[in-house]
């Protein structure tokens, strides 16, 4: 049995092929895994547990089947689906995972994050994030009609796309100093995150000790999961062509 980590699937009714990939992933690995960690942006957009689409319901049912079979699935919010709420967890059997979170895995402490807070040079996004994560702002949004929420979410997505297109590459990536700071704060030598859509395994020194930062892939570019086994072996697995990764494990 193994443990797997995935993120940035961006599942939506607009891309049924991505949903099909995930359903196939679950069908293939449910009995081979003891735990699955979903590290944010599982859905492309989530405007409330009361506003699911047929595509969302298909995914929810698949998650429920997997958890009913004994697979532990931990779910972390991303910047696209931070409104996933208590009803979702009841419907799926998934377990809420805070961001950041340190886990003990096969004798090793590992820090798990979505990754957006590591991009400290993207000041405009971090200000927007702070505003939208406010409990009162979220409550006001969820009180609006489904149509109103859809319009607001569509507007935010368009603004986000424009923001991404006009920003320099380094601003959209993690800040190395922030990575070191967060890892030191949590006393870990291994970090796993998504968000940046730049899959890689980065080896470096932290406090004069070997450290590793593992970046998960975005499924619209290359579906993939990072697998860890009790014997210490670690690998990326994809259903398509092999991932091209930077750094060393």
Matching residue, tokens 């690998």: 235
Higher pLDDT, 72 or 220: 72
Mean pLDDT of 174-194: 96
**Is residue 197 predicted with pLDDT exceeding 80?**
yes
Q: What was the pLDDT predicted at 78?
A: 96
Instruction: Give the pLDDT band of residue 246 (cuts 50, 70, 90).
Output: very low
Q: What's the rounded mean pLDDT across residues 63-77?
A: 97
More confident site: 223 or 24: 24
Instruction: Quote the pLDDT of residue 238.
Output: 74
Residue 215 tokens, joined: 């970046």
Residue pair 217/195 in contact (Cβ under 8 Å)? The answer is: no
pLDDT at 163: 65
Angle at CA of residue 155, ends 168 and 99, nearest 5°: 65
Instruction: Let me know: does 232 contact 2? Beta carbons within 8 Å.
Output: no
| 12 or 248, which is more confident | 12
What integer is the mean pLDDT of 36-64? 96
Residue percentage of the chain with pLDDT more than 70: 92
Q: Please state, as a whole number, how many other Cβ atoms lie within 10 Å of the Cβ of residue 195.
A: 26
Max Cα distance, the chain (Å): 54
Q: Which residue has the higher pLDDT, 158 or 51?
A: 51
Mean pLDDT in residue range 176-194: 96
> Any alpha helices (H) in 30-145, and if so which ranges?
54-68, 86-92, 123-132, 135-143
d(CA 214, CA 118): 13
**pLDDT of 183:** 97
Angle at Cα 137 formed by Cα 9 and Cα 185, nearest 5°?
60
pLDDT bin (cut points 50, 70, 90) of residue 249 is very low
Distance CA 249, CA 215 (A): 12
**Residue-wise pLDDT tens digits, 111-124:** 999 999 999 999 98
CA nearest 39: which of 131, 124, 116?
116
Put the strands of the sheet holding 225-228 in their side by side order: 95-97, 72-76, 33-39, 2-6, 225-228, 234-237
């Amino acid at each position: 049995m193994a443990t797997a980590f995935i993120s940035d699937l961006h599942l939506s009714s607009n891309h049924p092929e991505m949903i099909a990939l995930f359903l196939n992933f679950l069908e293939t690995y449910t009995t081979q895994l003891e735990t699955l960690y979903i590290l944010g942006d599982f859905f492309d957009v989530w405007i409330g547990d009361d506003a699911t689409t047929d595509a969302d319901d298909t995914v929810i049912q698949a998650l429920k089947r997997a958890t009913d079979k004994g697979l532990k699935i931990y779910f972390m919010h991303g910047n696209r689906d931070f409104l996933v709420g208590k009803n979702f967890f009841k419907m799926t059997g998934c377990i809420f995972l805070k961001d950041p979170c340190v886990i003990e895995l096969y004798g090793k402490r590992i820090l798990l994050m979505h990754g957006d807070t590591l991009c400290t040079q993207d000041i405009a996004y971090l200000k927007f994030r702070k505003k939208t994560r406010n409990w009162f702002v979220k409550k006001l949004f969820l009180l609006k009609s489904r149509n109103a929420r859809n319009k607001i979410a569509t507007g935010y997505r368009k603004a986000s796309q424009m923001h991404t297109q006009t920003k320099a590459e380094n601003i959209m990536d993690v800040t190395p100093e922030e990575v070191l700071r967060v890892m030191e704060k949590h006393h870990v030598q291994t970090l796993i995150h998504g968000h940046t859509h730049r899959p890689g395994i980065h080896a470096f020194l932290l406090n004069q000790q070997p450290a590793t930062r593992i970046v998960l892939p975005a499924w619209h570019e290359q579906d993939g999961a990072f697998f860890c086994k009790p014997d210490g072996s670690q690998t990326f697995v994809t259903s398509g062509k092999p991932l091209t990764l930077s750094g060393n494990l």
